Chains A and B, each alone.
Chain A
């Protein structure tokens, strides 16, 4: 582990200034659950660590009818998951939060940190000079890739590790970003980047920028939503594949909705054809089979992860059946 200096700014502007303009100068510490590991294993080698703990207001959640939910970036995953409004209205988010990591990690981990976490690819985390660390090669492409992506990959094949991000994408959330001279809000859809756009980063944040809030629009009363995370063990594991669904249910059919996917791509993933097909779809076995068949038709699995295609298709059917029950 490289030595670093530690800062505890009182406001966002000061924090942003401390971050500086260069990559790797400084890192933010929110919950810190993954940060220490990254630093200890020399994956990140910052000169400065900027702790956001003392920055005011980042740990508050506000809900306003019609406007929706506004979540401070430092809100702990467990605190958010425990809120009535989240459990009742934004069920998909509550479920994704509860599926994240372990109770201990959820007590420390923050929503902002979770969205900005680094990937878990074993080459990235290991002693391999891979593309994402500035090296020449993606070792996963022809290597051990059973957990890697089936869509959106190349030249790097990570999957994005966040559960809440998948739920928030399905909920059409947006994030507010504060930098040294401006603050702006972008749809979550535009927040994450693919390796083909920037192989060393998972999102659009510039070195001096900080995610401050997450906004989730209000939902129509006929919304039903849910999250299914498939993992190899029953707790404390990242998604092999996960599916978030936010559906507006009519009396006989789905009026419309969105689905988002984790574990399949370098960013939380959405397929337009699936969302289009949900429009006025009647939930029947035949329709579900058709929906599954059009899902991930563009996927390009690697040597060891082709199983994710039947898996994600089965989960699409399962989540809709569950919400329709």
Chain B
């Protein structure tokens, strides 16, 4: 069996480089080649947890009900900016059925967001946690919350990033409202020289809105103490992150905290960290000696558990007549809410196209609103809307087809680190997408269609990381009846992780799918895997499973050799049997072998191998939109999206299609509907329910056609898989925006492209 070594692993998790020491194998099985046909991997298996979900037997964190369990609800600050002068909880405590009330006065000072606390007396946004009530029922807890009397000193607020950047603005922190006090910057080449070389220069400003994750399942935890040991059922994208966060907050050893998450109703980046609510529930549960369940309601979801920061992006692009991009400049600012986060969105401009002269300056700005969190392709969704709008305008100025313009500036290597990609199959994606949408029929004269309803076609490119990397581990256990258990400390956030893990194991060991069971989402029993974000789960975890299966195979051959008393070299493994190459009498089925050897022996571990040195791993893609715009009402209807992507090897085409549809729909929703609106005078959110925070319905859905142009990327790992969760959404809004311009000949420079904006643009 292969030996191991420790390396410093670096890869992009969301839009930041994550660095971790990781144990990786020094040898791995040969990677599945790009054109290799596999028996199970890639096939459209239905989810192995599908029956549990549709029949209602699947228990989500929200569904956990323990005997004697109490319910908790949170009192949140009703003001945009305030200080607690006094708090009187006596009435609430006296209400029959109330078990405890937690505030800053009776809980330890637990650090949060670096400079704040679990319960801070300086409340920086509407929704900031003030108190937590634990009661026999949710309804009693809700009543008790209203009985808490808080004396607030109302402070001046600011809820707009531009205003917050002014010296005169109310300050959230003594150090000012600009995070780190300065913009994030980047440059390569000489941007001024680049603009001087250009025949055409365009500068324009593009705006995107704040969007809320709003997963179907609300944030929630059920916690239970057994002596000094705490079990947490949480709706989370990162069980180990929750374990670490909760243990640190409570100042207890990591091995005292067990985090479990079996199923999840969506996260989209809002569930990548331990929540205050979980720690509040744990404190309360300890105090009352009972299990506690805490849930957020839809309003809390819209205030307090993350959002996509907005952006005001001023872009400048220079181009020669022949289509060569000579310079790109990006200046932006965006609101990150009341606590540290990141509003940067220049990665598309820095990395998508070949351009030697690039300069970037971007500000992340504190405002009195809920803190931003990563949201499905942070920065990229905003950035591509601006970049691709600019690119189409540049192409029009020099009379070049937008697709040809993009091909002219095709990057053959990574533009930021100046290293080759492990693979890039974008040209094929452009071709497939253009053919499927009917690009040749696209009107070259924007807005020239007859009649009030005008049709248009547009496209956008896409780049993202999504290569994953170590550490990620999987354990395999073979049972005496020949069934297999796969155990890993990742979590299925609704994307089909259970199913592809079974497929990879079944593929490598040539077993029927029914013989494979998968255990995920339990920090007490499963080996470490990272959080599920950044489109890294499948590319990180699938190689660990395959490597574990290959190790198991080697162990089976070794065991068979000992049992049959023949050299290992004369044995081969096939479909649950170890066979002698020539002597048909010398063969043994694996269940029999396990009975001979004992189950305890038949455990193998697989580790995600190191990423190749000197390469960038990226996903690529292109989406094409066919829209119609009713110029009398301003309504945009998306008829069709064609999504053509390079995501390495496909693990399961059915769950892949689910993810692709989900991404396109979320992209469409961001392009046309979703927006968190804050009343500027009170600093309070007005879109706190699913009526006013608009998301599309089935009636608003386009046709979605998907093409995967990649076979696999063997340079990355033993499975050659890249992620798809985020790539699916990244180009959708930009493609729609360019299609809208093609339809009406007026550019909408602000998302969401709601009817009022379209009408205002048309009837200016």
Complex interface bits, B642-682 against A, C-beta within 8 A gives 1, otherwise 0: 00000000000000000000000000000001000111111
Q: Does B331 contact A (CB under 8 A)?
A: no
Cβ of A181 under 8 Å from chain B: no
A122/B634 in contact, CB under 8 A: no
Does A235 sit at the interface, judged by CB under 8 A?
yes
Q: Given A144-B677, A307-B759 in contact, is the A233-B686 Cβ separation under 8 Å?
A: no
Q: B17 — which chain A residues lie within 8 A by C-beta? A: none
Contact of A236 with B692 in the complex, beta carbons under 8 Å? no
What residues on A are CB-neighbors of B633 within 8 Å? Answer: 230, 311, 314-315
A143 in contact (CB, < 8 A)? yes
How many A-B residue contacts, CB cutoff 8 Å?
A: 80
Decide: A233 and B680 in contact? CB cutoff 8 A.
no
Known: A127-B78, A127-B684, A236-B697. A307 touches B679 (CB 8 A): no
Task: Please name all residues of chain A whose beta carbon is closer than 8 Å to the beta carbon of B689 when the two chains form the complex.
Answer: 125
B287 in contact (CB, < 8 A) = no
**Inter-chain contact B697/A311, CB cutoff 8 Å:** no
Q: Is A240 an interface residue (CB 8 A)?
A: yes
User: Given the complex of chains A and B, what is the CA–CA distance between A126 and B298 in angstroms?
Assistant: 13
What are the residues of chain B within 8 A of A318 when measuring CB–CB? Answer: 632
Chain B CB within 8 A of A232 CB: yes
A45 to chain B minimum Cβ distance, whole angstroms, is 11
- Which of A120, A125, A315, A317 lies at the interface centre, i.e. has the most chain B CB atoms within 10 A of its CB? A125
Report the bound CA distance from A311 to B630 in whole Å.
Answer: 11
B139 contacts the other chain (CB 8 A): yes
- Among candidates B139, B143, B679, B691, residue contacting A123 with C-beta atoms closer than 8 Å: B679
Q: Is the CB of A120 within 8 A of B691?
A: yes
B691 with A232: CB separation less than 8 A: no
Q: Main secondary structure on chain B at its contact with chain A?
A: loop
A139 near B679 with CB under 8 A, answer yes
State whether the Cβ of A4 lies closer than 8 Å to any Cβ in chain B: no
Residues of B within 8 A of A144 (CB): 677-680, 686
CB pair B681–A232 under 8 Å, yes or no, is: no
Query: B726 to nearest A CB, angstroms?
Result: 25
Contact in complex: A314, B632 (CB < 8 Å): yes
Residue among B78, B673, B697 with max Cβ neighbours from chain A (10 Å): B697
Chain B residues with Cβ below 8 Å from A128 are 679, 682, 684
Q: Does A306 contact B (CB under 8 A)?
A: yes
B680–A143 touching, CB < 8 Å:
yes
Given the contacts A1-B142, A305-B756, A123 and B686 also touching, CB distance less than 8 Å = yes
Asked if A255 is at the interface (CB within 8 A of a chain B CB), the reply is no
CB distance from A117 to the nearest CB of B (A): 13
A146 close to B (CB within 8 Å): yes
**1/0 contact string of A282-325 vs chain B (CB within 8 Å):** 00000000000000000000001111001100110110000000
Q: Measured between alpha carbons, how far is A127 from B697 in the docked complex, in Å?
A: 27
Inter-chain contact A311/B634, CB cutoff 8 Å: yes
Given contacts A144-B677, A233-B700, contact A139 B682 (CB under 8 A): yes
Of A127, A139, A233, A315, the contact of B696 (CB 8 Å cutoff): A233
Q: Is the CB of B694 within 8 A of A232?
A: yes
A234 B697 Cβ-Cβ under 8 A:
yes
B451: shortest Cβ distance to chain A, in Å?
A: 12
Does A136 interact with chain B (Cβ within 8 Å)?
no
User: Does B417 reach chain A (CB closer than 8 Å)?
Assistant: no
Complex Cα–Cα for A236 and B690 (A): 11
Chain B window 441-468, contacts with chain A (Cβ cutoff 8 Å), 1 for yes, 0 for no: 0000000000010000000000000000
A222-253 near B? 1/0 per residue, CB < 8 Å? 00000000101111110010000000000000
Q: Is A190 an interface position by the 8 A CB rule?
A: no
- The yes or no answer to A65 lying at the interface (CB within 8 A) is no
Binary contact readout B537-578 vs A (1 if CB under 8 angstroms, 0 otherwise)? 000000000000000000000000000000000000000000
Q: Quick one: given A144-B677, A144-B679, A307-B760, are A230 and B684 in contact (CB under 8 Å)?
A: no
Query: B699 near A: Cβ within 8 Å?
Result: yes
Q: Mark interface residues in A49-72 (1 if CB within 8 Å of B CB, else 0).
A: 000000000000000000000000
Give every chain B residue within 8 A of A237 (Cβ-Cβ). Answer: 694
B499 at the interface (CB under 8 A from A): no
Chain B positions within 8 Å of A120 at CB level: 691
B756 touches A146 (CB 8 A): yes
Among candidates A126, A232, A240, A304, residue contacting B684 with C-beta atoms closer than 8 Å: A126
Contact between A126 and B694, CB atoms less than 8 A apart: no
List chain A residues, Cβ under 8 A from B692.
122, 125
Contacts of B139 in A (CB 8 A): 1
A146 partner residues in chain B, CB cutoff 8 A: 756
In the assembled complex, the CB of A40 is this many whole angstroms from the nearest CB of chain B, namely 9
The residue in chain A whose Cβ has the minimal distance to the Cβ of B697 is A235
Distance between B27 CB and nearest chain A CB, rounded to angstroms = 55
Of B142, B681, B755, B760, the residue contacting A143 (CB under 8 A) is B681
Chain A residues, Cβ within 8 Å of B696: 233
Choose one: B78, B697, B756; the contact of A233 (CB below 8 Å). Answer: B697
A230-B635, A233-B694 known; A122-B760 Cβ under 8 A: no
Other-chain contact of A234, B679, B688, B699, B754 (Cβ < 8 Å):
B699
Is the pair A126, B754 in contact by a Cβ cutoff of 8 Å? no
Q: How far is the CB of A100 from chain B (nearest CB, A)?
A: 14
B278 within 8 Å of A by Cβ?
no
* Alpha-carbon distance between A317 and B694 when the two chains are bound, in angstroms: 28
A195-231 to B contact mask, C-beta < 8 Å, 1/0: 0000000000000000000000000000000000010
> Which residue on A lies nearest to B688, using beta carbons?
A126
Task: State in angstroms the CA–CA spacing of A216 and B697 once bound together.
Answer: 33
A143 surroundings in chain B (CB, below 8 A) = 679-681, 686
From the candidates B632, B679, B688, B756, name the one contacting A304 in the complex (CB within 8 A).
B756
User: What A residues does B680 contact at CB under 8 A?
Assistant: 143-144
* Interface membership of B687, Cβ < 8 A: yes
In contact, B760 and A306 (Cβ under 8 angstroms): yes
Complex CA gap A122/B452 in Å reads 32
A304, B686: Cα distance in complex, Å:
15
Interchain CB contact under 8 A, A232 and B673:
yes
Task: Identify which of A139, A314, A317 contacts B681 (C-beta below 8 A).
Answer: A139
- How far is it, in angstroms, between the C-alpha of A236 and the C-alpha of B691 when the chains are bound? 9
CB distance from B681 to the nearest CB of A (A): 6
Interchain nearest-CB distance for B638 vs A (Å): 11
Per-residue interface assignment for chain A, residues 122 to 134, with 1 indicating a CB less than 8 Å from any chain B CB and 0 otherwise: 1101111000000
* A232–B635 CA distance with the chains assembled, in angstroms: 7
Looking at the assembled complex, report how far the CB atom of B123 sits from the nearest CB atom of chain A, in whole angstroms: 15
Q: How far is the CB of A186 from chain B (nearest CB, A)?
A: 31
B699–A235 touching, CB < 8 Å: yes
Nearest-neighbour CB distance to chain B for A217, whole angstroms, equals 31
Q: In whole Å, how far is A263's beta carbon from the nearest beta carbon of chain B?
A: 12
A310→B687 CA distance, assembly (Å): 26
Residues from chain B with Cβ under 8 Å of A235 in the complex:
697-699
Inter-subunit contact A307/B756 (CB<8 Å):
yes
CB distance from B298 to the nearest CB of A (A): 11
**CA of A307 to CA of B762, assembled, Å:** 10
Q: Is the CB of B699 within 8 A of A233?
A: yes
Q: What CA separation (Å) do A237 and B673 show in the bound complex?
A: 12
8 A Cβ contacts from A1-54 to B:
1
Contacts of B679 in A (CB 8 A): 123, 128, 139, 143-144
Write the chain B residue with the least CB distance to A126.
B686
- How many Å from the CB of A317 to the closest CB on chain B? 8
Nearest A residue to B761 via CB reads A307
List residues of chain A with CB within 8 A of the CB of B688. 126
Measured CA separation A315–B698 after assembly (Å): 25
List 3 A-B pairs, minimum CB-CB distance, nearest first.
A234-B699, A314-B632, A122-B686
10 A-B contact pairs sorted by A residue (CB < 8 Å): A127-B684, A139-B679, A144-B680, A230-B635, A234-B697, A304-B756, A305-B756, A310-B759, A314-B632, A318-B632
Name 20 extra pairs, CB < 8 A, besides A125-B689, A126-B684, A314-B632: A1-B143, A123-B679, A128-B684, A142-B681, A143-B680, A144-B679, A230-B635, A232-B694, A233-B673, A234-B700, A235-B697, A235-B699, A237-B694, A240-B755, A304-B756, A306-B760, A307-B634, A307-B760, A307-B763, A314-B633
- Give the B-binding residues of A (Cβ under 8 A): 1, 120, 122-123, 125-128, 139, 142-144, 146, 230, 232-237, 240, 304-307, 310-311, 314-315, 317-318
